[in-house]
Structure 1
Amino acid sequence: MHYSRVYALLLLAVFLISCGQNQRGVEGVKSETQDTVTAYGPTTMVRNVRKGSNGTILIAAARGGVFRYDSTRVVEKRFTNLTTRIGSHRFWDVLEDRQGNLWFASTDAGVYRFNGKSFQHFTTEEGLANNAVTSMYEDKAGILWFATGGGVSRYDPSQADGQSFRNFTTKEGLPNNNITTIMQDKTGKLWIGTRGEACFYDGKTFTVPRTKEGKAFTNVWGITEDRHGNIWFGATIIKAKKGATLVVSVGLWHYDGSTFTKINQRGASAIIEDRKGNLWTTGDVQPNGVGAWKLLRYDQKSLSNQKPTVTEIMSIEKMLCGILEAEDGSIWFGSIHGVYRYDGKTITDFKNKAGQDSLKKLQQ
């Protein structure tokens, strides 16, 4: 009987410890498991590539983890998987906030925050609108915005736990709850892409912008603002409906503050402006959604033209995703099979030895 009681107490202790480790939103999710360090990058789909501190690059790979690339380390140890301790998730985005915290967004488990020592897990239980988070954005005031499958979540880190989140859905005026991307312009407005109609938010009202024909911009994934304050984005226009069939037009659009202008028929799933003023896009360039995905560069000297000069850097049969300009001026971009770097001459594939050999040659 004595041994039975001891055994029962041990089982109870194990149960309580397990429950404590599985609690969400609690600081201190720690493990003896070490971060994985390797010479190679992820081999699964890379949705987004972001800047980290001290010239590092952060890479969010679905099912592969979130990686940090540090060029100052030896080649064999340049990629560090930062999410080994929290298991495998569909990571779609990563962000380093102004406080130095790392945020990891997933489409199956909400958001994790890492302060360098421990993880804190945020889900709908802590206030997120939805546990499917596709992208994150930190605005000028240090407020974090999460694009989720159930609306927009606003997180104020200065507020006490339990009061940090404020959610916006169709009840508050969003045109669609399935959010894809968020970007704040120089005037303070938030531009919000959705799988339905895109909109912008001025702090009070959600407004759906439209073409001069009255058409809304749908399925917007990539939005950026250039140095002149112009907004660039890829979008689909629903021209007509024929029964269950939609007649659509895909393209890259430009907004100068008063007029929306369609630049071309090339879609853009991600878009950035580099330090020279060139625009870079990835996307499926075919209006019918069939065909190669391309990394394109739009020359800054011709952006004011109706038909800017476009250079094709890379073409691939399947997806190309997020883009980043690194501190050295190279362009990093995600794909369905990992991450690439373009240094102006050579495209380096980081997922295998051949790609690493190419990298070593560049350094010699």
Structure 2
Amino acid sequence: MLIHKIVLCHIEKLEVNKNIQSIYLILILILNLSCAENKESDKKADSAELAKISKTDTLKFTSGIRSIFQDSKGNYWFGSHSEGISRYNGKSFEYFTTKEGLQDNQIRSIQEDEEGIIWIVTARGVNAYNGDNMTSYSTEFNSPISDWNATTGDLWFYAGEEDGIYRFDGMNMNYLTFPKPKNTDPYNSFGVTGISKDKNGAIWIATYSALFSYDDEIVDIFEHKKLNLEDNESLHVRSILADSQGRIWIGNNGIGVILINGDSITHFSKEQGKLLPIDEFRLNTNKNQTAKNTGLQSVFAIEEDYKGNIWFGDRDSGAWKYDGKTLTNYQVDIKLKPQMIWSIYEDQNKNLLFGMNDGGIYKFNGRLFDKWF
């Protein structure tokens, strides 16, 4: 506009003839077209650069796949240990990080509600993605709630390394505090490591130092004594599964799998003869070894397949399948050191997917593991 005014001003003052005016008008048009082309070129450059950053043809994660989920539209979501989350539509991968609104780039879990909103739990809070916008929910614990029955909602979330859990009621993210065991070591952490709903609708919540269950009436606590552990066996729960038969599988880092089956509580890894002596295990761990790759000892993931087999993902020894009678160990990929499995997920096509420590994802073909990404 400034160029226009200056040029027209000169035209009036000089009282030039129509030919000269025409020349000025042509110059103005040339200037306008040049500016417009440059702006359009800048937009295209920015758009191309964003597309290059946010989409790839192959999965680019290298920090570990902590969570896998397939939504109602068939898209896969892969949550990484430190690089955000990726959505795969069958052709390309789209990435979301803190730049796109995530509260943290470490993804703990992914789920979808009845309205199709994708809920992403990060190490620093919860995000909800509706397909267009990323909404963040506060991690402030200004009004902790001890009476769990005073809240409603079917969405439960990890709430940081605190002493409670989030429950979303459709409007508010309520922070419910755990009724911690008496005489608890003040250094124990009750950060949530897994959530699973049983066939009766009760919620089972794994934390590092105890297991909690809630049936919409009572919060029950399963700690060291109630789980029948020895004095030298320490709880460090990393995974939880309530299976189709009503059994509760508890995966620990150090003492393997504990099984709750009705009123019976057994040390599954020990019964199966797949538990190294604690002292030997700690010695190997301190030396950064892999516990001889023989034990079902550090279980970071548990899943049930459509046949009723229970699968365990171990930090050191790869995948384990329990068919109700026999426990079988698999190496996912002989090239991987370690064979650490962060996540196991069965998709809508009954494919069993394994998220690995190196950022890779494998499919089990019934006999061996094929690398998918």
Partner of 2:206: 193
Asked if the contact 1:46/1:92 (under 8 Å) is kept, the reply is no
Distance 2:239 2:200 in 1: 19
Q: CA deviation at 1:147?
A: 4.4
Q: 1:276 to 1:227 in 2, by over 3 A?
A: same
- Tell me, yes or no, if structure 1 residue 207 matches structure 2 residue 226: no
Q: Which one of 166, 175, 181 corresponds to residue 166 of structure 1?
A: 175
SS across alignment from 2:320: strand
- Tell me, yes or no, if structure 1 residue 255 matches structure 2 residue 260: yes
What do the CA deviations read for 1:307-341 (whole angstroms, capped 9, x no partner)? x2314142643332011112222222222221312
SS across alignment from 2:255: strand
Partner of 1:278: 309
Distance 2:304 2:219 in 1: 28
- Tell me, yes or no, if structure 1 residue 155 matches structure 2 residue 167: yes
Distance 1:189 1:257 in 2: 14
Asked if the contact 1:179/1:195 (under 8 Å) is kept, the reply is yes
Distance 2:258 2:194 in 1: 16
Distance 2:85 2:78 in 1: 6
SS across alignment from 1:221: strand
Distance 1:174 1:65 in 2: 38
Partner of 2:357: 336
What do the CA deviations read for 1:75-101 (whole angstroms, capped 9, x no partner)? xx2x22144522662223222222211
Asked if the contact 1:183/1:192 (under 8 Å) is kept, the reply is yes
Structure (1/2) with the larger helix percentage: 2
Q: 1:332 to 1:63 in 2, by over 3 A?
A: same
SS across alignment from 1:261: strand
SS across alignment from 1:117: coil
Distance 1:147 1:191 in 2: 15
Q: 1:207 to 1:54 in 2, by over 3 A?
A: same
Asked if the contact 2:78/2:85 (under 8 Å) is kept, the reply is yes
Q: 1:158 to 1:347 in 2, by over 3 A?
A: same
SS across alignment from 2:190: coil
Structure (1/2) with the larger strand percentage: 1
Q: CA deviation at 1:181?
A: 1.4
Distance 2:331 2:196 in 1: 26
SS across alignment from 2:132: coil
Asked if the contact 1:45/1:61 (under 8 Å) is kept, the reply is yes
Q: CA deviation at 1:153?
A: 2.7
Q: Please give the TM-score of this superposition, normalised by the length of structure 2.
A: 0.65
Q: 1:253 to 1:126 in 2, by over 3 A?
A: closer
Q: Which one of 85, 96, 100 corresponds to residue 112 of structure 2?
A: 96
Partner of 2:343: 322
Q: CA deviation at 1:261?
A: 2.0
Asked if the contact 1:332/1:339 (under 8 Å) is kept, the reply is no
Q: CA deviation at 1:189?
A: 2.7
Q: What amino acid sits opposite 1:277 in the alignment?
A: G
Partner of 1:50: 69
Distance 1:128 1:273 in 2: 37
Distance 2:142 2:167 in 1: 9
Q: 1:86 to 1:229 in 2, by over 3 A?
A: same
Q: 1:271 to 1:128 in 2, by over 3 A?
A: farther
Partner of 1:63: 82
User: Cα RMSD between the aligned structures?
Assistant: 3.2
Distance 1:174 1:189 in 2: 26
Q: 1:173 to 1:327 in 2, by over 3 A?
A: farther
Distance 2:96 2:360 in 1: 16
Asked if the contact 1:330/1:341 (under 8 Å) is kept, the reply is no
Q: Which one of 222, 235, 252 corresponds to residue 235 of structure 1?
A: 252
Q: CA deviation at 1:127?
A: 6.1
Q: CA deviation at 1:253?
A: 2.5
Q: CA deviation at 1:294?
A: 0.6
SS across alignment from 2:332: strand
Distance 2:168 2:111 in 1: 15
Distance 2:113 2:259 in 1: 29
SS across alignment from 1:314: coil
Asked if the contact 1:326/1:332 (under 8 Å) is kept, the reply is yes
- Structure showing greater radius of gyration is 2
Asked if the contact 1:128/1:153 (under 8 Å) is kept, the reply is no
Partner of 1:181: 194
Unaligned runs of 5+ in 2: 1-46, 145-151, 270-274, 276-295
Unaligned runs of 5+ in 1: 1-31, 130-139, 237-248, 285-291, 351-364
Q: CA deviation at 1:146?
A: 2.6
Distance 1:213 1:260 in 2: 10
Q: 1:82 to 1:173 in 2, by over 3 A?
A: farther
